[in-house]
Structure 1
């Protein structure tokens, strides 16, 4: 089963993304903890695309595709903006150092990597794509 959502690059659309993902997963009668983990991970990636890749330019579009097959949820988030956004490779942050420095931000992708089984960023047709995968069984 597959569902697709297209949104403009505005933070105002993040609630629509969360609602879309939550509804898709609830139709599959999945545990609430798993639903919340996926919603949080997808929200973080979409927010990064909106803010960092597109500068909240509402003329740009992000497409979100959710597919369940063979007990795996596959999420593809495709950025149709004019720039390529590939975050640096995942390195586990030093939490004690973050706290000592009083830093804010920069922890989102570390969280996504912990919540999902697979996180990949790549380019396709001059667009950035993030693929997230989670085993459901």
Structure 2
């Protein structure tokens, strides 16, 4: 089963994305923890696309596709803006230093990489695509 959603690049649509992902995942007998992990990971990537890749330009949009393949969940988030957005490699940050410095932000993709089994960014034409997958045995 495959499901798709298109949203304008506005933070106002993040709740719609979270609800869409949660409703899709609730069609399977998954733990609440697993559902919450995937919702959080997708929300983080979509927020990055909206804020960093598209500058919250509501004339741009994102396409989100969810699909189960046997025991794997595959998520594709495709940016339709004109800017290529390929985050660099994530490193394990020094959490103690973050807390001491009172830093905010910069931890999202590290979290996504820990929650999902595979995280890939690539280009398709002049658009950026993020593919997330998680094994759901």
Deviations 1:47-91 (A, max 9, x none): 000000000000001000001012000000000011000111111
Deviations 1:79-128 (A, max 9, x none): 00110001111111111111121110001101000000000101001100
CA distance in 1, matches of 2:30, 2:68: 12
- Structure 2, unaligned stretches of length 5 or more? none
Aligned to 2:75: 75
The separation in 2 between residues aligned to 1:11 and 1:126, in whole angstroms, is 23
Cα separation, 2, equivalents of 1:59 and 1:44:
21
Counterpart CA distance in 1 for 2:100 and 2:34 is: 32
Structure 1 runs not aligned, ≥5 long: none
1:1-137 matched pairs, under 5 angstroms: 1-137=1-137
Give structure 1 regions of 4+ aligned residues with deviation exceeding 4 angstroms. Answer: none
For 2:32 and 2:102, locate their aligned partners in 1 and report how far apart those are by CA, in whole Å: 32
Q: Distance in 2 between matches of 1:103 and 1:122?
A: 29
RMSD: 0.6
Q: Distance in 1 between matches of 2:97 and 2:126?
A: 36
CA distance in 1, matches of 2:4, 2:12: 18
Q: TM-score, normalised by structure 2?
A: 0.98
**Structure 1 length normalisation: TM-score?**
0.98
Number of aligned residue pairs: give it: 137
